[in-house]
Amino acid sequence: MSLGLGGGGGGLARWAREKVMRARENLGELLGGSQLAEFLATIEEDYGRFEDITSVVAELAEHVFRGRVQVVPYYPFAAAEVVRTFKLTYEEQRRIRIEGLRDAVVTGFTLHCLYSRPLRGGIVEYQSEITITKHGFDARGEDLRLLALLFEELAEILGRPDIGGLGGQSYGYATLYRNIRLFGAD
C-alpha cells in the first residue's frame, strides 16, 4: 500500500500537516503557527537526512560491489490517530541489495510524535531515528571481505568508527542519528 508520500521530506511533511489539521483538536491552533511550522520543517529536515544517508550508502555499495547493487524501498508504514491524544507514526526502510547476497544493508527511518495536554498548554513530543542494519549471513569469501570494506568506508565517511565494526559481524545494528524535541504552544 503506497501512501503517496513521494517527494521526500516535503511529501512526509504534507501528510503530517494533513493529519495534524484533521485531528479533533487542531494542533496548528494548539501549537501556534511558528511552532507548527518548526515541527513540519523538522520532519522535512530529518527525512532529508535519511535520504542523504541512504544515497551515500547506496553509492558506496555500488562502487565497492562494482554495480551489483539495487536499492529496494519498502513501502512505508504510516499511522495517525486521535484517541485522547494525537499520535503520529511513520516508518520506512530502504534495503540495499547486493547481487549474490541477501538483505546485506538496510537503512531505516522512524518518526514518532505524541501530543499531550498538560495543565499549561499542549506539547508535541517528537522523536526521529535513522538506523543502519547489516545482514550478512550468506556472505562468503570475496563478498564477505567487500561487505567489511563497505562498512569500514561508511564509518570513515559518516565519521562513526563504531559502524566499521559491523563489517566483521554477521548481523549488526547502529543508530546513525536521533532527534528528540518538544514543541509547545507559542
Residue 63 CB contacts under 8 Å (≥ 6 apart), including other chains:
none
Q: What is the pLDDT of residues 13-65, one digit of tens each?
A: 778 777 776 665 566 677 777 888 898 899 999 999 999 999 999 999 999 99
Q: What is the pLDDT of residues 106-142, one digit of tens each?
A: 999 999 988 776 655 678 899 999 999 988 666 678 8
pLDDT of residue 5: 46
DSSP-assigned letters across all residues of the chain: ---S--STHHHHHHHHHHHHHHSSS-HHHHH-HHHHHHHHHHHHHHHHHHHHHHHHHHHHHHHHTTT-EEEEEEEEEEEEEESSSEEEEEEEEEEEEETTSSS-EEEEEEEEEEEE--SSS-EEEEEEEEEEEEE-TT--HHHHHHHHHHHHHHHHHHT-HHHHGGGGSSEEEEEEEEEEEEEE--
pLDDT of residue 147: 86
Length, in residues, of the chain: 186
Rg (C-alpha) for the chain, rounded Å, is 19
* pLDDT above 70: residue 152: yes
Q: What is the pLDDT of residues 70-115, one digit of tens each?
A: 888 886 787 776 655 678 889 999 999 888 877 679 999 999 988 7
**Banded model confidence at residue 168, pLDDT cuts 50, 70, 90:** confident
* pLDDT above 60: residue 1: no
* pLDDT above 50: residue 6: no
